[in-house]
Amino acid sequence: MYKFILGLYCFIFIPSCLSFYLPGLAPVNYCKASETTSSSCKSDVQLYVNRLNTEELVMPYEYHHFDFCTTDESASPVENLGQVLFGERIRPSPYKIKFLENQVCTPLCTKTYKPNDAASDLKLLFLKRGMSLNYQHHWIIDNLPVTWCFLVDDSVTYCNTGFPMGCFMTGVNGLDGACQALVGRGNTRPEHYYLFNHVDLKIIYHSGEHEEWGSSFQGNGGRIIAIKVTPRSINHKDRANLKCDGIQEPMSFDKEKLSNPVDVTYSYSVTFERNDTIKWSSRWDYILEVSPQTNIQWFSILNSLMIVFFLSGMVAMIILRTLHKDIARYNQIDSGEDVQEEFGWKLVHGDVFRPPRKGMLLSVFLGSGVQVLCMTVVTLIFACFGFLSPANRGSLMTCSLILYVFSGALSGFVSARIYKSFGGEKWKTNILLTASLCPGIVFAIFFCLNLLLWAEESSAAVPFTTLLALVSLWCCISLPLTFVGSVFGFRKRAIEHPVRTNQIPRQIPEQSIYTQPIPGIVMGGILPFGCIFIQLYFIINSIWSHQIYYMFGFLFLVFVILIITCSETTILLCYFHLCAEDYNWWWRSFLTSGFTAVYFLIYCVHYFNAKMNVNYAASTFLYFGYTFIMVFLFFLLTGCMGFFACFWFIRKIYSVVKVD
């Protein structure tokens, strides 16, 4: 079976490796328009616009939903599956930029809003709502995000991958500092909306003095290494003579409806700046490494690793020393006497492998957990090698989804093997539940959330054709592979346990509060959660605060430690329960480590209350809906880790003791 799965992966991924190419990572050479006829370079610098989002509302919108200047969208880049699922909608823009050609106050378009006009009122209302909720633009040039850089604490420059579409002056002291800084303190009035209808673009490039570009290309070309934007609000009253320099009257709206027609003229300026100290290969560094929390993250991760390594070593030492003494006592034969009287965990050797209740459901959860585990491990390995870099938008989600679908064979195999070891005979039901139960729960929640996004006309709404593609992946790939894996699993001989199971179950003595199931399960998730909660903050922050997560090396280390911690914690608690003569370990081992997901859920609730300023029921429903999907998959992941570690441990200890 393993050879079959390995061959399947090789068949899928080796052709893609032979034709190795990472979209978006190949450098693009730019030059002046006069050089394009004789050189392999481009003079047109295409600016793409992406969807707008905000931290205050879990609902992104496409660029054209707001009344901005648009162009023909038929030439939009093709989005991969991950981009569609994440709600990215990259569209061409009407901005015309030529390489090394500076532009000053170039008009783009003019939007007119008339009083007592329903269409104008609706468009303006949507603009005001976007400004009050701090919606942000996300632009792309040469596959590099356009960044908005500003000072943090007057000492550190922070570059954000989005910039605001406008701001709202509330009139409350202490809340309008950012808006005043952008518009100008002398130009702002309380309870007014200020639209940033002008942008100053600075394109920084590395000169084209390279041998492969040709000597005649020097000084007239280069590669783009950074794009920085400064948004401004300017009321262009004279469209024939635009002025963008100095202090200008801002473009503002009050809270009341229009009484007179209003014209909003959008404009832009472009300047090019040469910088030969930064290489093209390092152009993402200033976006990824200038975060004010970078140093905090490094020290926190190192501190977490030290604590987890110490606790893991303590748990391993306790288990090894205690077990060594137990096995020595159990196997000791006094001179002239029989084996010592049995006590402790050896007493339950005739019941420890008794099949559990709801064995069908447990086997399905274990198969799905292994599927998630396989997907996570392979995805992290690809990410550590740089295959899923931020330049490859949507590649992380696409890779995870494809790996999950093709891991259906492993899911079916594991579920069938476990279910057969329980003595189960309903193999058809097992195959159907393994292929549909957990994916069905996730898809049902996702579909309900998507209906809400459809109703809100959000860009995060997945198109119907993409939903059909997801269903097709399940029907045409995942389901057949699960069936194939299950067939191989059921054809193999049942797992042979080291000890026989008695026909009559042994009575379990009354347990103390420390060895009862619920306290043990609740305590079991504390240590695994303690080793990952720092990384969880940055992962959740990257999802809901629209930050770029890139430290996959540290994430892989923390994931390895999570596996070790889940395994050791479950083994330790399982050993204590067996010593108390409680042999019902099957479900308990799964739930002990799986309870880490409950702490994950509690942490997500805390993050929602502490970090997110969401006041809309739809956004709250979306947040907790997507959170439940993540928590459910994390429950399956951690649960299967603890179960298989405990399964290996119990088989090991009962195979080395002498049983009459």
55-93 tens-digit pLDDT: 888 889 999 999 899 888 888 888 888 888 888 889 999
Which residues, listed in sequence order, are joined to residue 145 by a DSSP beta bridge? Answer: 140
Is the per-residue pLDDT at 152 higher than 80? no
Per-residue pLDDT tens for 187-219?
778 888 999 999 999 999 988 555 445 444 555
- Residue 17 pLDDT greater than 50, yes or no: no
Look at strands 52-54 and 103-113 and give their pairing.
unpaired
Amino acid 155: pLDDT: 67
How far apart CA 559 and CA 240 sit, in angstroms, is 60
State the pLDDT at residue 16.
34
Q: Is the pLDDT assigned to residue 517 strictly greater than 60?
A: yes
Angle at 65 between CA 453 and CA 240, to 5 degrees: 170
Lowest pLDDT segment from 151-155, 424-428, 479-483, 557-561: 151-155
pLDDT at 12 over 50: no
pLDDT at residue 601, as a whole number: 95
Closest-CA residue to 297 (of 50, 598, 533): 533
What pLDDT band is residue 497 in, cutting at 50, 70 and 90? Answer: confident
Q: What are phi and psi of 172, to 5 degrees?
A: -95, 130
pLDDT digits (tens, 9 = 90+) for 370-386: 999 999 999 999 988 88
Q: How far apart are the first and last CA of the chain?
A: 36
Rounded CA separation 660/654 (Å): 12
Nearest alpha-carbon partner for 138 in 184, 87, 102: 87
Q: What is the mean pLDDT of residues 449-460?
A: 90
Question: Based on C-alpha coordinates, what's the Rg of the chain?
Answer: 30
| Confidence at residue 330, expressed as pLDDT on a 0 to 100 scale | 64
pLDDT tier for residue 18 given thresholds of 50, 70 and 90: very low
Residue 13: C-alpha distances to residues 67, 77, 391, 394, 476 (Å) = 44, 25, 21, 18, 19
- Structure confidence at residue 209 (pLDDT): 54
Residue with tokens 């993402």: 284
Q: Which long-range contacts (CB under 8 A, 24 or more apart) does 9-17 make?
A: 9/406, 12/406
Residue 658: pLDDT band with limits 50, 70, 90: low
492: left (phi over 0), alpha (psi -120 to 50) or beta: beta
Task: Fill in the DSSP letter of residue 548.
Answer: P
Cross-strand partners of 230: 200
pTM (2 d.p.): 0.87
CA dihedral 480, 482, 488, 493 (to 10 degrees): -150
pLDDT of 167-189, one tens digit each?
888 766 655 667 777 777 667 78
Checking if the pLDDT of 8 tops 50, the result is no
Q: Which of 57-71, 86-100, 304-318, 510-524 has the lowest mean pLDDT?
A: 304-318
Burial class (CB in 10 A: 0-12, 13-18, 19+), 620: middle
Q: Can you say whether residue 143 is alpha, beta or left, with left for phi > 0 and alpha for psi between -120 and 50 degrees?
A: left
The C-alpha angle with vertex 494 and arms to 649 and 1, in degrees rounded to 5, equals 90
| Predicted confidence band of residue 296 (pLDDT cuts 50, 70, 90) | low
- Asked whether residue 449 carries a pLDDT value surpassing 60, the answer given is yes
DSSP states of 629-642: HHHHHHHHHHHHHH
Query: How far is Cα 232 from Cα 248, in angstroms, rounded to an integer?
Result: 10
pLDDT tens-digit readout, 85-144: 888 889 999 999 999 899 999 998 999 999 888 888 899 999 999 998 889 999 999 989
pLDDT at 4: 36
Residue 144 sits at the vertex; the CA angle it makes with 141 and 148, to the nearest 5 degrees, is 90
Q: What is the pLDDT averaged over residues 469-495? A: 92
What is the dihedral sign for C-alpha 553, 556, 558, 561?
negative
Contact of 9 with 403, CB cutoff 8 Å: no
Our measurement of the distance from residue 447's CA atom to the centroid of its chain's CA atoms, rounded to an integer in Å, reads: 19
Tens digit of each residue's pLDDT (9 = 90 or more) over 401-422: 999 999 999 999 999 999 999 9
Q: Over 50: is that where the pLDDT of 290 sits?
A: no
Give, as one character, the DSSP assignment of residue 475: I
Taking the CA atoms of 227, 231, 232 and 237 in sequence, report the sign of the dihedral they define.
positive
Mean pLDDT taken over the chain: 83
Give percent above pLDDT 90 in the chain. Answer: 37
The distance from CA 536 to its chain's CA centroid, rounded to whole angstroms, is 10
Confidence check: pLDDT of 336 > 50 = no
* Residue range 424-445, pLDDT digits in tens: 888 899 999 999 999 999 999 9
Taking 70 as the threshold, does the pLDDT of residue 391 lie above it? yes
pLDDT at 343: 57
Strands (E), 177-324: 192-195, 198-207, 221-232, 252-254, 262-274
Provide the β-strand partners of residue 194: 167, 252
Other beta carbons within 10 angstroms of residue 462's beta carbon come to 20
The arithmetic mean of pLDDT across residues 16-44, rounded, is 63
Confidence (pLDDT) at 294: 52
